[in-house]
Structure 1
Amino acid sequence: MEFWAIARLSQDDKGKVLAIVAIVGKKEIVITSEILTIKLQLRDTGDDDKFLKLVMDVEFIEQGYYGSTKYATYEKKHCSAGLKYLFHAIMHCLSDKVASSSERFCPKTGLPFIIPDVSKEIKPQMDMIFTSLDDCYSMYVTYAKACGFLVRNETAKINAKGEKHIKYYMCMRARVYKDKKVDTLDPNQKERLVRSNFSKRTDCGALLCVIFEVGSWKVYKFVEEHNHDLVERPDKHFLPTERHLTQLPKHVIHNMSKLNLGPVKAFNVMKTCFGGFEDVSASKVEFKNYKRQINLFIGEYDAEMVVRHLDEKKTAQPNFSYDYFTDEDNRLKGLFWCDDQAKRNYHVFGDVISFDATYAMVFVPFTGIDNDHCNVTFGVALLASEIADTYIWLLRVFLKVVGSQPKVVVTDQDPAMKKAISALFVDTRHRLCMWESWIPAYYRMEELSGLMRTISRTESENHFFGQVCNSKATLVEFMTHYETAIEA
């Protein structure tokens, strides 16, 4: 005991530890790694009677040592586990392959504690004073960003007056999740909680604790040691605190959405334009979350927002027309709109029209052909169903808006369309798509029928709008996509 009380390390000019030295009485005692190896004969092999590494690790921990056991020997011969622990501890001090004796190791991970290397200006100090908890939290978050870890806003202790007295801020990896035991054979077991992701908590002890004294908050405990790796500088932009959407990416997401480009494509465009992930200030997750938040905000007011938008267009454009109807539960069942340009197109080119409904979304465009054999739109509608009553409502609104019946209507063999056309377009000749009738002579006596004998024009228009929209889009998104396509 006297030796260890006065022992010191003998080092060379470069700081390498050569031996443990102490003078006991008048005799100098020197312990080197070679002496331990030879005198104690702990490295001889050939004996099957050995310690298991797990057993040795437990023995070391019970003795109060938490260092690496990589360089320990495990033969039982010649010594006890306690003596081997002493040998290993001394070898750890003398070895140039491991950390110095001043380095501490975490008993839970077996890794050395990590102390962040940051400037003193941003590091918390004992007895620091803060006027509010917000200032304290902001300071610790700034320190955490520089170090490379996240801060958890932990609980506070309340005094007898019901006021906050002590406040804790801890590393995000503090504490550990407790596994909930579930008896899978028990039929009465109602809940079975299964984590979908691996827990990254390591029971880290790094923390900042402040206490309320004389009208201010004072730091009275600060632990800066972490038992896990910290995020390096090149990867700090992946920290959640560094990932946030500014106004620019929000604007990009909104404008890309008009072209039916999702948030992931918007992120890839920004990443390419800015030169890398770190310059976007957010990841794909934030882009997708922002788009989801917009859809959640729209929610059940989707149809109401579209109708309000059309009403605002009616106010700004007096010749703009729209109409809609709802069911007994006030749910939107049909919506039709037609702007001034569509009305002019109909009065000039509306002798022969065609309309057809898409399959994924009941989108019904009224289509014709101009003098250049190009498609023109006379109006569009969104329907909740393809029944006769719905089409009757649609054609009634269409006639009210455009003011006259077409000479020829070309559709497919939909019986609901046929019933609605015969009821509303009494002066119009209804012709089926030539590909479905297979009788070209069917159109021989129709004026201008050479321009449109099939519904391929309408199907082409459906395909065009389908490129800038999808069946999963909200009504607000569809309206935005449609108007973008028309302006193009």
Structure 2
Amino acid sequence: MSLEEEGICFHSDASDEDISRENTTDLNEIVSTPKIGMNFDSLDALFLHYKIYGRQEGFGVKKKTSRKSLNGKITFVCFSCSRARKSQPTKQNFLIPNPQMKTDCKARINATLFEDGKCKINYVVLEHNHCLSPHRSRFYTCNREISIGVQRRLELNDRAGVSVAKKFQTLVVEAGGHDKVPFLEKDCRNFVDKARRLRLGIGDAKAIHDYFMSMQAKNSSFFYMMDLDDDGRIKNVFWANSRSRALYEEFGDVVTFDTTYMTNKYDLPFAPFVGVNHHRHYILLGCGLLSNEDTNTFIWLFKTWLTCMNECAPIAIITDQDKAMKKAIEVVFPETRHRWCLWHILKKIPEKLRGYKFYEQIKNVLKNVVYDSLTKEEFEEKWGDFLNEFNLLENVWLNDLYEERHRWVPTFVIDTFWAGMSTTQRSESMNSFFDDYVNSKTSLKQFVEQYDLALRNKVEKENLANFQSFSTEILCVTHFEIEKQFQMIYTHSKFKELQHELTRKLYCNVSCKGEKDGAYYVTETLFIGDKQKEMGYNVQFNNETCEVKCACRLFEFKGIICRHALSVLIREHVKSVPEKYIVPRWRKDIKQCHTRIKVNYNEWSGSFETQRYDRL
């Protein structure tokens, strides 16, 4: 039962008299001061009582902490003043501080919950460390609520083209003043913005449903799911055709995901799941249109996608630093390796560190620490020296990044196969691919039509790349047998990457550390602009199996054997690499299963009328 429907019943240990209130929904009602021993019929009733008390005294309230039993039921809860806890500054430029509300106020009530749902106050702190103002209580978030009736009126007026400002002024006049309205104009705007996201244009909902039905009729492997709100309106949509599902079976080990691409006039974020194929082309592994970007929405989307892909989670996923996305991944993909987009992190350096005196030096040293650390221990040492050198020990942004270093620092993630992707570049490339077909004024009805055209173009480009890898060959740049080995079996794009490693071998010098144990040290000369520097890598070689392992771990990360390992193999006169270094997902001589799937597109030329016309 909701707070608005449920009354409050309580009694104090100081008196045997029971006091009851029913339908306590008026926040202007006078309630008694919370005391130890008060009993309430439910947790909602307790919170409502404390909220009304806070309003009449002049402070806001919030839920601070709670504890659950082993069976998942709440057994303890703490409601506190909304100004509890200390402020955490987010801006690094202390000369332009933001206003802070937190004062570490200790005012609160603790309560114990029982098996029957009732609760009892067992601890009370009434004193505040800040001024109280009852006539300003209405500005606290907990006291700002828009009733269902007003929500309906706001949405109807928005459909009719009435501005939020005019409608809010009407409500103020009707209520008899701003202090009689339990919400702000800002709250009205937030509600209208959300309602617009949920509302589709004329024919949009039907167009999406008809499109999905027709695609599923042509191919039973077509998958779709629609998430509806309480009024039956579309909130979130997900779909994947049979080709995307087959692609996932072959190339679904590494996935990138981002929602930064707005595709339509309703600002519904386009949420594509993107991978790479054997040509390093970006491929669509399903996509959604979302009304929101909170944790629950992402959980719905990820679970839906997982169902579509036969409950087979990806090995690795790359996203930006979105907290809601991170929580959802932990819930739905607990075994999946989650990595943050490195590019998104580094592009925040100017915003977070520009206010420091030695900004240019800080930026360059930070990038060197990130990119040049070959081991975790080396990174830890360099990071500590970096913070001490520039007196950055108290920098909140850097400290937060360090706590999550296993999600973004290359040396912490390079032991996992990422198909060569270090950022969400693949997702952003997929977004740019759709730019030729949709824009900010595209309706959802138009989107589903243009979506087919975009995917058809993608399939044609893959077919052309398959043809080129099959019918042509890229000439070798060396006489090494290893290069010829990969020329015969790898697609053009991946063979070019191997050639790049072979040409970089020119700048590598191999020295033997121990002939018996196969330990080598490879020194590479790197050219950065007009400057050059040397980097050293330990390489381990097994003479019996011809297996080789380099400290740079390029093969583990990218699936391409590195120049350092090639240098050692060539020195040891190895003519062909072991089978383990030939990654099946890069081969051109394997028939890909997804190419056998005929994809039906929702087009006019496939209609019954068109076919009859062609026969005539």
Shorter-chain TM-score bucket reads 0.3 to 0.5
Radius of gyration: which is bigger?
A: 1
- TM-score w.r.t. the length of structure 2 is 0.30
Name the structure where helix makes up a greater proportion of residues: 2
Q: Relative contact order (C-alpha < 8 Å, sep 6+): which is higher? A: 2
- TM-score w.r.t. the length of structure 1 is 0.38
